[in-house]
Amino acid sequence: MRDPKQPRNAEELDDVDHLFARLERAAVPDDLTARVLASTVERTNATRAVLAWPWLVAGLAALGALTIAGYQLGVSLAASDGLDVVAAVFGDIGLFATAPGDVLAALGEVIPWSMVALAGVSAALLVLAAGNVVSHPAASLGTRRVA
């Protein structure tokens, strides 16, 4: 593509080339960059402040639910023969190869699956909330704009 301001010869010029030859570059305002950056920082800080707090509260709630579910799961396993069954399964993984149905039936009888489900959901919510809080770091005091 050739430069319209410097044609090779006058015969190749058409109406568009004549039009562009008369155009001049517009002046850029002196504070354009500063205004754009300031508005971007303002929007980013406002978005961070709005999004970080709910995820932080959700993460703390998920951590509390995970703690309670883990404690209740441990209490339930200790009160029944659940710890012995779990220890036997992890002690001899070959039990799954020889009698997988019996192992799953024994685990199904002693493990409180509602607590396992609550712990799994709480752990997933905790990971999601922590990821969202970390991905929106708080702005430093130097970049905050005083209103």
Looking at residues 99-128, what average pLDDT do you find?
Answer: 91
Q: Read off the tokens for 20.
A: 């562009």
pLDDT digits (tens, 9 = 90+) for 93-107: 888 888 889 888 888
Q: Using CA of residue 32, residue 33, residue 37, residue 38, what is the dihedral sign?
A: negative
What are the two backbone dihedrals, phi and then psi, of residue 22, each rounded to the nearest 5 degrees? -90, -15
- pLDDT tier, 140 (very low <50, low <70, confident <90, very high otherwise): very low
Q: What is the mean pLDDT of the chain?
A: 80
Work out the number of other CB atoms within 10 angstroms of the CB of residue 115.
Answer: 19
- Comparing CA positions, the residue from 75, 67, 71 lying closest to residue 126 is 67
* Residue 4 pLDDT > 60: no
Which range (14-28, 40-54, 60-74) has the least confidence?
40-54
- 146 pLDDT band (50/70/90 cuts)? very low
Specify the higher pLDDT residue, 9 or 103: 103
